[in-house]
Amino acid sequence: MARSFFSVVLLSLVASVVSVQVGKRCTLRPLGAGKDDTTQIENAISECGHFGTTVFEPGVYNVTRKMTWDLVSSKVELHGYLSFKPDIQYWLIAENTYRVVFIQNQASWFVVTGSDFEIDAFNTGGIHGNGQTWWSYYATRERADGDGRPISLTLWKTTRAKIKNFRIESPPFWSNAVAQSSDVLYDGMFVNATNTDPLYVGQNLVWNTDGIDTYRSERITFLNWDITCGDDCLAIKGNSTDITAKNIVCRGGTGIAFGSLGQYANMTDIVQNVNIENVKLIRLDPRAQPNLVNGVYFKSWTGSVNGSPPNGGGGGPGRVSNVTIKNVQLDGPSTPLHLYQTNLGHPGDAPSRLKFSDIHFINWSGFANTSTSTCFYSQLPVCCYLF
C-alpha cells in the first residue's frame, strides 16, 4: 500500500510540473570579470519571469547582493554559474540577506518563489558560493545556527516547480532549502563542498554544508542527487510530508537526517509519508573529508527546554511515521542507523515528546566502521529490517 501511494504521488507530481508559457524570451551574457551582473539578472527576470523564458548563456555571472526570482508559468535556462561575491562581512549583516527560512532563523542570499516554473541548468550551470573563503574564515571562529552564513538556493512559497540538472559548487552553508512549498521536483542535483585549503587537510572544515533541508513543505521529490559535503546529505525537518528521494549518492558527511525535531516547545513537528530508495553512502579519502558519521539517523530534542532557538530550545511535541528507507549501500559509516532523542540535552532532562512509529529499513548492505549495526528504539516500536 505504501509503495503504491508513493508511486502515485511521484507520477502525479511529474505530470503536473510544469505548465510553462514561453511567449517572451530574455537572453543574458556575462558582463565580464569584475563587473556586477545583478541588475541585468533582475531586469531579465522582471521582464520574462512571468509567462516567458530567461536564458543565461555560458559563463560566470557576478552577484553582489541578495536576489529574489518571482517566477510564474515560466522557464529559466541557466547555462552558466551565479557566483556570489565572497565578502563575508557584507553577507553577515542581517539586512543583506533574507530570513524566510523560519527554523533557526537561517539566512538566504538567493530566494526563488512562485508557481508553475522550471529552472534547467543542463549540468553546466548553477551556483558557485565561493565557500572556501567562508570555510577557512570559520576554521578559527565559532559557528552557530542563525549566524548569517547564507543558504545557496532557497525555494520559498513555491508550488508546482522543477529544478533540473543543477550544480552547487562550494556552498558556504546549506546548499539548498525548500520551505513552505509544495509539489516541487528536483531532478538532477550535484553538490560539491570540498576543502582545498592545505592548512586543514584531513579536517572537516565544511560543517553545515547540507545537501538540502526541507521545512514546512509537502510533496517534494528528489531524483538523481550526488552530494559531497561535511554534514547532512538530506535533512528532513519539521512538517515535511509526502517526501520522495530516489537515486541518492552521499559522499562523506553525517548521512541522511530526520530532524532535528522538537526544538520549538510551542510547535508540533510532523514528518510522515517519506520514501527513500536507492542510496549509496560513500566514505571519502580522509584527506579530503574524514567524516562518514551515519547512514540514516533520527534526532529530536529532549522534553525539557534549555535556552531558546536558534541554538537552544527543546520541549516540542510531534511524530515521525510511515517512513520507508530501502536499497541502501553502506561504505563504512561509523553508525549505519542511529535514533537518539537527546539532541543538545542535559542530564535530568525530561524525555523527548517526539514519537517514532511505522519506520522500515529494507534491503541494506555493506559495512560499517563499528563492530555492530545498531538500531536505537524510541517510545514506540520502530521496525528494523537490516542486512
pTM above 0.85, yes or no: yes
Q: Say how far residue 262 (Cα) sits from the centre of its chain.
A: 19
Q: What is the pLDDT of residue 180?
A: 98
Q: What is the pLDDT of residue 22?
A: 57
Task: Let me know if 334 is exposed, middle or buried by CB neighbors in 10 A (0-12, 13-18, 19+).
Answer: middle
Q: What is the pLDDT of residue 370?
A: 74
Q: What is the pLDDT of residue 163?
A: 98
- Per annotation, catalytic residue among 231, 232, 242, 349: 231
Q: Is 231 a catalytic residue?
A: yes
Contact between 211 and 175 (Cβ < 8 Å): yes
Which set of grid coordinates corresponds to residue 145? 545556527
pLDDT in 10s for each residue of the chain, 387 residues: 444 445 444 544 443 444 455 589 999 999 999 999 999 999 999 999 999 999 999 999 999 999 999 999 999 999 999 999 999 999 999 999 999 999 999 999 999 999 999 999 999 999 999 999 999 999 999 999 999 999 999 999 999 999 999 999 999 999 999 999 999 999 999 999 999 999 999 999 999 999 999 999 999 999 999 999 999 999 999 999 999 999 999 999 999 999 999 999 999 999 999 999 999 999 999 999 999 999 999 999 999 999 999 999 999 999 999 999 999 999 999 999 999 999 999 999 999 999 999 999 999 999 998 744 444 433 333 333 333
The CA distances from residue 158 to 161, 179, 184, 225, in Å, are: 7, 8, 8, 20
222 vs 170: CA distance, rounded Å = 20
Q: What is the pLDDT of residue 224?
A: 98
Which set of grid coordinates corresponds to residue 177? 532549502
Mean confidence (pLDDT) of the chain: 92
Question: Measuring CA to CA, which residue among 194, 229, 209, 164 is closest to residue 14?
Answer: 164
Question: Measuring CA to CA, which residue among 42, 112, 119, 111 is closest to residue 75?
Answer: 119
SS3 42: helix
**Domain extent listing, the chain:** 25-386
The CA distances from residue 31 to 38, 39, 40, 58, 63, in Å, are: 10, 11, 9, 12, 11
Is the link from the previous residue into 100 a cis peptide, with omega within 30 of 0?
Answer: no
13 vs 150: CA distance, rounded Å = 29
Task: Let me know if 359 is exposed, middle or buried by CB neighbors in 10 A (0-12, 13-18, 19+).
Answer: buried
Angle at 233 between CA 230 and CA 235, to 5 degrees: 115
Q: What's the Rg (C-alpha) of the chain?
A: 20
Q: What is the pLDDT of residue 23?
A: 84
Write out the CATH class of domain 25-386. Answer: mainly beta
Where does the chain have alpha helices with state H?
2-16, 38-48, 88-91, 131-138
Is the link from the previous residue into 86 a cis peptide, with omega within 30 of 0?
Answer: no
Handedness of CA 346, 350, 356, 362 (dihedral sign): positive
Q: Cα-flanking dihedrals φ and ψ of residue 125, to 5°?
A: -140, 175
Terminal alpha carbon distance of the chain: 23
The CA distances from residue 166 to 51, 191, 341, in Å, are: 22, 9, 35
